[in-house]
Structure 1
Amino acid sequence: MTDRFTPVADARAHILAACSPVAGTQRVPLRDALGRVLAADVISPVSVPPHDNSAMDGYAVRHADLSADGDTRLAIVGQAFAGHGWAGEVAAGQAVRIMTGAVMPAGADTIVIQETARLDGSTVIVPPGQKAGQHRRRAGEDLHAGEPALRVGRLLRPADIGLAASLGIPELTVRRRVRVGVLSTGDEVMSIGDPAREGGIYDSNRYTLTGMLTRLGCEVVDLGVARDTREALSAALEAAVGEVDAIITSGGVSVGEADFVREILASLGEVTFWKIAMKPGRPMAFGTLGKGARSTLLFGLPGNPVATMVTFHFFARDALLKLMGVSPVSAPIHFAALSDTAMKKQPGRTEYQRGILELRDGLWHVAVTGAQGSGILRSMCDANCIIVLGDDCGNVAVGDAVNVIPFEGLI
């Protein structure tokens, strides 16, 4: 670990450059594909829509029959419903009553919406001002047969599942799930179920990390707790290398912690220890354990619970998405909000405050959750966003605009 502070952007770029998608694909039923990553383009077997159809309830007519200067009277000769079309052909002076989604009758090219038309027995009266082809959906307007409907690398959302279903596709080819081992370190760390003891703390990091990894779509392997001995940590890591795609540890990477941690990691692979120019989460390690096909990425996160969650999001999350095959990996949604809290901040590092975001009088406002210590996990529970104060940012006054990243779908 050097004395130089590494900017957040530099560390992120280094990590992403070291990652590439895992090998291995699966065919999964469409109902099980949500949250998976496409490993092959989905090619549309049909055009969508498959035929010209009506976008509105109304009357299918021939635009050439309509007067530009006054009302036009047309004889209603049939009805067309979605799934039950009209088999005839619209001739001069005729109209067909039509419902949304119904196939356009032969001969007709324009829809007159029912709110515009007037009925007189079996005759429809159409006012002037109708545009040729209005309210008509063309075959293939959404997709043409043979075109990619969904591209490789897409993280599948509910709308994507619906689109595949609309094409009659029962299964999709997706990347296998990324396997991530989660390991906590430290003599003070206790597992749930252990009797309380003086100086001990119950392990929260494995549970928060497991939750975030599960939401991300990873397969989580619980590696337990490794004690602060060379033998325990070495055995835990060696057993996991090659069995998982990545290992996330919490604790053991700070200055002043056991030097053998760095020695063990150096003996197992190539690992860089950083002091990141950020708060919380300054200490961090990243690298590769093992070699070749059995190599495993390592993310060494700090042990304080908030710092663990923040560094996971800003460094591990996007790297894991890249391992999953997501392309492109998009930055999380962020926007400006007015601060309801004054915050002290010195330029030169990025700070992540926990905030409560709300919409008032048409403007977004944000306030910190209270004490912002990196060990106060409750501050994450109370928050619904992260306030990002960039490297160049100084003190923040009430009413200043700050950058926020909502938690929804993120943590």
Structure 2
Amino acid sequence: MSNLKHIPSSDPIYTSGSLHVEQARIAISDLVKDLITESQKRGESDAIECIALDQAINRILAKDLLSPIDVPVADNSAMDGFAFHGDCLGNSEDLVTLKVVGTAYAGKPYEGVIASGECLKIMTGALMPSNCDTVIPQEFTEPQSPSDGTLVSFKQNRVKRGENRRLRGEDLQSGKPAISAGRLLRPSDLGLAASLGISELQVHRKLRVAILSSGDELRRLGQALEAGNIYDSNRYSLIGLLKRLDLEIIDCGIVRDDPASLKVAFIDAASKADVLISSGGVSAGEADFTKQIMQELGDVGFWKIAMRPGRPMAFGMLRPTQGANHKTLFFGLPGNPVAVMVTFYQFVRSALLQLNGASQTEPPLMHAIAEAPIRKRPGRTEYQRAILGRGSDGKPTVKLTGSQGAGILRSMSEANCFVILSHDQGNVASGDWVDVALFDGLL
């Protein structure tokens, strides 16, 4: 790829105007697609590893998981009740009376034959006798008489023929995909694989993601703070975000604001990683050297994005070694702590999942009722930190955590969701429905 066709930095909208959030997302996704395609054309196969099932949570399935068995493996009962042949049923409330000839338990089938006028007491999951096709739930039956528990009666119209029976293979047929490739594996997926007797899964290799923070004002934890110094919190936020995706993290620490140090750090980080994420150094400040270095090391676009927080961001591709095929995806995030997390949520997370082979990369949204008015001017997308709750009527409600400044990290710690206010949206009135993205499982 000779240039980043999806990041035309010379275009006035990228340099003087503000890029729409959706435009930025599309550009990032398109570049990731190009990177994957280019790698495939070079014959570089994506590394796949086989891992134990209990280690596969949050990994991305590399190949369709085919079921080795039918599910269910045989016809079985979906209810506790009585199994019988449904030819005795009708649409009336007339009673059907059947003789109970035995009991079938899950894992302990009944070996006999059920004749006409007979039934079998059966538990949920127990195998259906070959000549039975219907189960009447136990709560719909009654004994014929208190002194004879071997007979049960029920109205003909309380059940239809074939009801409450699970058919062999109705959930999943042998040889068919149980889980499709590209799935970000969740606990239910591990349970499904286990139910099929599968103990190992083929997953994509973890992406190697390098992170660094730039700024002369930053200090490591444990160092004394002098005038104008702050502790570096962004790397710890990023580490937490990346661990949620179970990726391999390369922590490159803090880099000072001078071109030589930054260039060495970027070359070293990019040579080790599939993706490099930096924070700080992407605004128009005199000490922000990221742009200068990126022009030397790769193709990078510097954007003003119409969003709050997180307006300045850099994105593109680094080539740490001239002439080599290795290319590293680069995200230059803002320095403000909240802006780092917002831009990661909006842009980086989806790109990482896409690059790592995931088929579903966008986080889910829900809707909630604003408990109070929210000020918003059209022309930018806003991500307000908020707390999702539930009103007295049971409907979901949301309220902001207070001041929404890009440097107020406490607002993120107190929140459990974003209220996302779209580009063209204006002020929100109390009682209006708004879009909400939950943190849990994402951030």
Q: TM-score range by the shorter chain?
A: over 0.9
Q: 1:296 Cα deviation (Å)?
A: 0.4
Whole-angstrom CA distance in 2 between matches of 1:259 and 1:97: 77
Q: 1:148 Cα deviation (Å)?
A: 0.5
Q: How does 1:290-329 map to 2 (within 5 A)?
A: 290=319, 293-329=325-361
Q: 1:323 Cα deviation (Å)?
A: 1.3
Match of 2:378 in 1: 347
Q: How does 1:155-304 map to 2 (within 5 A)?
A: 155-258=184-287, 260-290=289-319, 293-304=325-336
Q: 1:259 Cα deviation (Å)?
A: 5.4
User: Which secondary structure does the structure 2 equivalent of 1:239 belong to?
Assistant: helix
Pick one of 155, 168, 188 that aligns with 1:139: 168
C-alpha spacing 1:77/1:268, structure 2 compared with 1 (3 Å): same
C-alpha spacing 1:257/1:23, structure 2 compared with 1 (3 Å): farther
Letter in 1 for 2:387: I
C-alpha spacing 1:96/1:220, structure 2 compared with 1 (3 Å): same
Asked if 1:126 is matched to 2:154, the reply is yes
Pick one of 421, 429, 434 that aligns with 1:389: 421
Count of paired positions: 410
Whole-angstrom CA distance in 1 between matches of 2:283 and 2:118: 82
C-alpha spacing 1:66/1:389, structure 2 compared with 1 (3 Å): closer
Q: 1:2 Cα deviation (Å)?
A: 1.0
Deviates more, 1:252-261 or 1:178-187: 252-261
Letter in 2 for 1:110: T
User: Which secondary structure does the structure 2 equivalent of 1:387 belong to?
Assistant: strand
Match of 1:57 in 2: 80
Pick one of 112, 117, 138 that aligns with 1:93: 117
Q: 1:10 Cα deviation (Å)?
A: 0.4
Pick one of 5, 10, 13 that aligns with 2:26: 13
C-alpha spacing 1:398/1:63, structure 2 compared with 1 (3 Å): closer
Whole-angstrom CA distance in 1 between matches of 2:290 and 2:324: 23
Whole-angstrom CA distance in 1 between matches of 2:427 and 2:80: 59
> For 1:7-56, what per-residue CA distance to the aligned partner results, in whole angstroms no more than 9, with x for missing partners?
11001110111114682111001111111100000001100000000111
Whole-angstrom CA distance in 1 between matches of 2:396 and 2:91: 50
User: Which secondary structure does the structure 1 equivalent of 2:139 belong to?
Assistant: coil
User: Which secondary structure does the structure 2 equivalent of 1:19 belong to?
Assistant: helix
For the 8 Å contact 2:374–2:429, the answer to whether it is kept is: yes
Match of 1:113 in 2: 137
Whole-angstrom CA distance in 2 between matches of 1:399 and 1:62: 56
User: Which secondary structure does the structure 1 equivalent of 2:295 belong to?
Assistant: helix
Letter in 2 for 1:354: R
User: Which secondary structure does the structure 2 equivalent of 1:274 belong to?
Assistant: strand
Please give the TM-score of this superposition, normalised by the length of structure 1. 0.96
Whole-angstrom CA distance in 2 between matches of 1:197 and 1:113: 75
For the 8 Å contact 1:88–1:106, the answer to whether it is kept is: no
Whole-angstrom CA distance in 2 between matches of 1:4 and 1:321: 29
Whole-angstrom CA distance in 1 between matches of 2:240 and 2:425: 32
User: Which secondary structure does the structure 1 equivalent of 2:156 belong to?
Assistant: coil
RMSD value, Cα: 1.7
Whole-angstrom CA distance in 1 between matches of 2:203 and 2:22: 30
Letter in 2 for 1:27: C
Q: 1:365 Cα deviation (Å)?
A: 2.5
For the 8 Å contact 2:65–2:177, the answer to whether it is kept is: yes
> For 1:288-321, what per-residue CA distance to the aligned partner results, in whole angstroms no more than 9, with x for missing partners?
0016541101100000001111111101110011
Q: 1:67 Cα deviation (Å)?
A: 6.3
Deviates more, 1:150-159 or 1:111-120: 111-120
Q: 1:358 Cα deviation (Å)?
A: 1.6
Deviates more, 1:128-137 or 1:358-367: 358-367
Q: How does 1:72-91 map to 2 (within 5 A)?
A: 72-91=96-115
Match of 1:406 in 2: 438
Q: 1:145 Cα deviation (Å)?
A: 0.6
Asked if 1:30 is matched to 2:62, the reply is no
Letter in 1 for 2:110: W
Pick one of 387, 390, 394 that aligns with 1:356: 387
Q: 1:62 Cα deviation (Å)?
A: 1.3
For the 8 Å contact 1:343–1:395, the answer to whether it is kept is: yes
User: Which secondary structure does the structure 1 equivalent of 2:431 belong to?
Assistant: coil
For the 8 Å contact 1:242–1:293, the answer to whether it is kept is: no
Q: 1:66 Cα deviation (Å)?
A: 4.4
Identity %: 49
Deviates more, 1:337-346 or 1:230-239: 337-346
Q: 1:324 Cα deviation (Å)?
A: 1.6
For the 8 Å contact 1:40–1:173, the answer to whether it is kept is: yes
Q: 1:340 Cα deviation (Å)?
A: 2.9
For the 8 Å contact 1:243–1:294, the answer to whether it is kept is: no
Whole-angstrom CA distance in 2 between matches of 1:126 and 1:12: 61
For the 8 Å contact 1:344–1:394, the answer to whether it is kept is: yes
Match of 1:372 in 2: 404
User: Which secondary structure does the structure 2 equivalent of 1:139 belong to?
Assistant: coil
User: Which secondary structure does the structure 2 equivalent of 1:115 belong to?
Assistant: helix
Please give the TM-score of this superposition, normalised by the length of structure 2. 0.89
> For 1:159-193, what per-residue CA distance to the aligned partner results, in whole angstroms no more than 9, with x for missing partners?
11011001101100000111111100010011112
